[in-house]
Amino acid sequence: MRPDLEIVADLVPAGSRVLDLGCGPGDLLEALARRGCRGTGVEIDPDAFLATVCRGVAVLSLDLDTDLDAFAADSYDVVVLSQTLQTTRRPRTVLQQMGRIAPRAVMSVPNFAYWRHRSELVLSGRMPVSAELPYPWYQTPNIHLSTLPDTQALVEEVGLAVERRLLLDERHQPLRGRLAPNLRAARAVYVLGRRA
Amino acid sequence: MVVCHALTGDAHAAGHHGDEGRRGWWDNIIGPGRPLDTDRFYVVCANLLGGCQGSTGPSSTDPATGRPYGLSFPLLSVADFVATHRRLVRHLGIERLHAVVGGSLGGMQALSWALTAPDEVETAVVVAASSRLSAQNIAFSAVAREAIMRDPDFADGTYLETGRSPDTGLAVARMMAHITYLSEAAMTAKFGRRFQGSDTPRFGFGVDFQVESYLRHQGESFLSRFDALSYLYLSRALDYYDPFGEPDAHARLARMAAAGTRALVLSFDSDWRFDTSHSLRIARRLEHAGVPVTFREVASDFGHDSFLLPVPEYHAIVAAFLGAPALAGGQGR
């Protein structure tokens, strides 16, 4: 399983009903099933979809931007969105829908303000290509990049609150120290709740 | 597992009865090593009540009068198809099915079966189906039935006693329905604007384009295997089908969720007879009720008929779904 998914898995309470948006080949859901979770995936890629079906996991090919009405309000305990928000056309709508479907969300997003991205942009004057964002600008699925404060602002705008934030380096290890997170974090994993 | 046939299908789903060239209508998906793997599963397919391939229908003899039922035969619903086939399954000594599988009308029957008797059904495979026909769907059905019923030889449904039959009406009904089973891309690929038996047009009202010849052949060959009254009764069952609109729909959905019955719902992107919005509606209703549902729109150029064809992605998904292990922690919610 991808190292960032291990971190996500640890943030999902055992026995939860989990909806994994952009579930890939279903490895997170399969791992969570072993912890007594009941899960559904959403995946549009044909190979990843088929791999999820093979695992015996329920999975729907839906457009995150337009089809999340397929899920009823409060029908899950946790919605997971890992490395996917930045690929959606309407991130605001997706976040709103996540807040509707479950009281809690676990979301991981790359940080565009990470120092490597900044230095590449500043020094070479070109769009950054990195381990986090490995595609050239003209064929990247990452069309809505944000920084840590940008993500935080959108979360709050749609009526959600950051309950917990894990800052990770390029090797998916937790950052040490609290200094300059928006410069040092390659990505962040958020646990979101509804604002009281 | 039970295979449910579509509007004009029959119990001969796979294999052959001596003539290798006359294989069942779903031979490409049923068999050893195929998605409906007969090395692993015992597969049952039976004719629909109201059909004309052996089961009782409107052309059967009414024992009360000694004459064919005709239009005095009661209207049929998908629930009746489920009820009769459930009795068959019980008669065979089967208490629980691994799967009920069907495309188009067969998919509707699979869905209804799972909603009616979820404890008897582990999985329902619902392909290119609908839970509620649209006005456009019903309009096509209406024209097909008008073609049959306005044929003078239909004789208000008593044609079996006159020795004549509404062949013109039934053939026209089939021709029109057949258009809705194909996509425009498939028809373009198959016929284009080519002429039948000629490179140049003949300029007249006869059969000139290849597509006209094909449709006429479809209409004519249908006459030898189908009965006009059965066509009316079975197609009318589709029009009235609305399982999620029934008063006890919520209770049925709740029972299906409680039973843990899983559903696979598939559509094809070139199917305009029952386009993806129909399948998405089914998936949404099941998901909202807490039924574990797997859904995908499969890319295929062949329109509604795709469900009968060996589209690789489609068959791979069905095989994976039917062969997948039951997950320890359960799935869905």
**Tens digit of each residue's pLDDT (9 = 90 or more) over B250-308:** 999 999 999 999 999 999 999 999 999 999 999 999 999 999 999 999 999 999 999 99
d(CA B333, nearest CA chain A) in Å: 5
CB of A130 within 8 Å of any CB in chain B? no
d(CA B46, nearest CA chain A) in Å: 29
From chain B, the residues in CB contact with A50 under 8 A are 313, 316-317, 320
Q: Do A54 and B320 touch (CB under 8 A)?
A: yes
Go through B240-254 and write b for each residue having 16 or more CB atoms within 10 A of its CB, e for each that does not: ebebbeeeebeebbe
Choose which CATH entry (1.10.357.10, 3.40.50.1370, 1.10.1740.110, 3.30.2350.10) describes domain B134-240. 1.10.1740.110
Q: Please say if B112 is a catalytic residue.
A: no
Looking at residue B333, its pLDDT comes to 58
From chain B, the residues in CB contact with A40 under 8 A are 287, 292, 331-333
Number of separate domains in chain A: 1
CB of A26 within 8 Å of any CB in chain B? no
Helix (H) and strand (E) counts for chain B?
11, 10
Pick B331's closest partner by Cβ from A39, A46, A67.
Answer: A39
Q: pTM of the prediction?
A: 0.95
Q: Which of B59, B104, B112, B306 is catalytic?
A: B104
Has residue A135 been placed in a domain? no
- Tokens matching residue B113: 């079966």
**Distance between CA atoms of residues A24 and A39, nearest Å:** 13
CB of B269 within 8 Å of any CB in chain A? no
Q: Give the bridge partners for B298, in sequence order.
A: B268
Question: Is residue B100 within 8 Å of residue B110, measured between CB atoms?
Answer: yes
Q: Do B329 and A69 touch (CB under 8 A)?
A: no
Domain layout of chain B by residue ranges: 1-45+77-132+241-333, 134-240
CB of B296 within 8 Å of any CB in chain A? yes
Has residue A117 been placed in a domain? no
DSSP B27-67: TTTEETTSSEETTT---EE-PPTT-SSSS--TTSEETTTTE
What angle, 0 to 180 degrees and rounded to 10, lies between the N-to-C axes of helices B249-259 and B105-116?
80
Q: Do A75 and B330 touch (CB under 8 A)?
A: no
Q: Please say if B271 is a catalytic residue.
A: yes
CB of A54 within 8 Å of any CB in chain B? yes
Q: Do A61 and B287 touch (CB under 8 A)?
A: no
CB of B250 within 8 Å of any CB in chain A? no
Mean residue pLDDT of chain B comes to 96
Looking at residue B328, its pLDDT comes to 47
CA angle A165, A170, A176 (to 5 degrees): 55
A vs B, Cβ pairs < 8 A, gives 86
CB of A93 within 8 Å of any CB in chain B? no
Pick B293's closest partner by Cβ from A38, A50, A58.
Answer: A58
Q: Average pLDDT by consecutive 10-residue portion of chain B (333 residues)? A: 96 94 96 96 97 95 96 98 98 97 98 98 98 97 97 96 95 96 95 95 95 96 95 97 97 97 98 98 98 98 97 98 71 56
Has residue A162 been placed in a domain? yes
Looking at residue B331, its pLDDT comes to 55
d(CA A88, nearest CA chain B) in Å: 19
Q: Does A1 have pLDDT greater than 80?
A: no
CA angle B263, B265, B266 (to 5 degrees): 150
Residue type for B152, please? Answer: P
Q: Do A37 and B283 touch (CB under 8 A)?
A: no
Looking at residue B329, its pLDDT comes to 47
CB of B312 within 8 Å of any CB in chain A? no
At residue B141, the 3 state secondary structure works out as: helix
Q: Which residue of A has its CA nearest to B263?
A: A58
CB of A31 within 8 Å of any CB in chain B? no
Measured between alpha carbons, how far apart are the two ends of chain B, in Å? 25
Task: Give the CATH number for residue A90.
Answer: 3.40.50.150
**What was the ipTM of the complex prediction?**
0.93
d(CA B98, nearest CA chain A) in Å: 14
Q: Please say if B167 is a catalytic residue.
A: no
CB of B135 within 8 Å of any CB in chain A? no
The residue among B303, B170, B186, B306 whose CA lies nearest residue B235 is B170
Has residue A107 been placed in a domain? yes
At residue A193, the 3 state secondary structure works out as: strand
Q: Give the bridge partners for B273, in sequence order.
A: none
**Distance between CA atoms of residues B161 and B74, nearest Å:** 19
- Name residue, tokens 């399954």: B89
From chain A, the residues in CB contact with B258 under 8 A are none
Q: Give the bridge partners for A60, in sequence order.
A: A42, B295
Q: Which fold does the domain B1-45+77-132+241-333 belong to in CATH?
A: Rossmann fold (3.40.50)
**Distance between CA atoms of residues B176 and B145, nearest Å:** 11
CB of B297 within 8 Å of any CB in chain A? yes
- Of the residues B295, B317, B322, the best mutation for testing chain A's interface (the one with the most A CB atoms within 10 Å of its CB) is B295
Q: Do B331 and A40 touch (CB under 8 A)?
A: yes
Q: Do A37 and B320 touch (CB under 8 A)?
A: no
d(CA B269, nearest CA chain A) in Å: 13
The residue among A132, A145, A148 whose CA lies nearest residue A183 is A148
Pick B326's closest partner by Cβ from A38, A50, A56.
Answer: A56
Domain of A73, in residue numbers? 3-111+142-194
